[in-house]
Structure 1
């Protein structure tokens, strides 16, 4: 049976409609997969270190709570005390919601930052901050997990003749220890509080 011109056009339109429908389904699946991938954490907090009370702590000990993590050292002249002061302001600004967040300070200078040194340092900012240290090998392994950068810099005028260069971001991890966000040095506490209140 020969098709008329009109029938050929109709069949062509049916073919185009079928193609468009299949394309839309595939695009929808692609977008869904992409959105799901973007929502997944790019990395997870993973550590086993000693806190400022001498107790071994791992990321699993903070399961169910959001973690605010900052890497620094107690002899830091400016960035670390400024950031920890901001963290203290964040915890105060969260009010009752602060119970859902655990602020953590991880040293990148384990040679000097013993548990005893951290015990004198972190409470100066906020009683809720946990200070963590470990062996140089443990700190190096932790830095690769997050990941962060740090290095020893010889400086004759600094305590013990050296200081530390390091990543100055404040990291946020969700209740399953998945990376959620980070803020660069100098981000106002008000901005961090606003971001946190939308999440927790």
Structure 2
């Protein structure tokens, strides 16, 4: 048998082997399930803050009921009072179903918002809203867990204001992210979202 024929046979055998190997890899890839995404954003997590009576509150205290969580501060000139007024109005529209949701206001201003200030401030909206505050370190922890932005912004006269995320975060009864309500979103849309949160969360 000539060397040319032997070479052709060897090349053919090699081609068959490579084809079988490729086919085997393709079959294995189809058998192996691809990594699945839950589609749920990683929002929420452990925190320790103080309630309006000075009591310790953690993320575990919110479990068992869905929650609508808003971050702001009591010296806020517009976004916070507007949002809290809207939440109070939605609570009124929900009637007794409002008690099936934790409405939570977390201050990002550790320098001016203590438990007493939070209690007085929230009394102007609805006393069922849970007010939480803490040290700068505690606020850093909870805002990072909930993927919330905030920053201290100096103003004239040596004072400061706070820039912060304006959305309301919706969490289910297990502390998992459910959705958001945008600032100045239509009231009927927000009401529908809360009803869905009650029904599904």
User: If the length of structure 1 is used for normalisation, what is the TM-score?
Assistant: 0.78
Say which SS state the counterpart of residue 148 (structure 2) adopts: coil
Name the CA distance, whole Å, in 2 between partners of 1:170 and 1:199. 13
Q: Is the 8 A contact 1:74 1:113 kept in 2?
A: yes
Instruction: Name the counterpart of 2:188.
Output: 190
RMSD (Å) for aligned C-alpha atoms: 2.2
Instruction: Name the counterpart of 1:72.
Output: 72
The structure with the larger Rg is 2
Name the CA distance, whole Å, in 2 between partners of 1:89 and 1:44. 25
Name the CA distance, whole Å, in 1 between partners of 2:71 and 2:189. 20
Instruction: Name the counterpart of 2:20.
Output: none
Instruction: Name the counterpart of 1:168.
Output: 166
CA shift digits 1:79-138 (9 cap, x unpaired) = 000000111111111122112101111001010001111111011111110111111100
Instruction: Name the counterpart of 1:42.
Output: 42
Aligned length: 171
Instruction: Name the counterpart of 2:16.
Output: none
Instruction: Name the counterpart of 2:154.
Output: 154
Say which SS state the counterpart of residue 175 (structure 2) adopts: coil
User: If the length of structure 2 is used for normalisation, what is the TM-score?
Assistant: 0.78
Say which SS state the counterpart of residue 156 (structure 2) adopts: coil
Name the CA distance, whole Å, in 1 between partners of 2:179 and 2:48. 22
The gaps in structure 1 that reach 5 residues or longer are: 1-21
Instruction: Name the counterpart of 1:88.
Output: 88
Instruction: Name the counterpart of 1:10.
Output: none
Say which SS state the counterpart of residue 177 (structure 1) adopts: coil
Most deviating of 179-188 and 102-111: 179-188
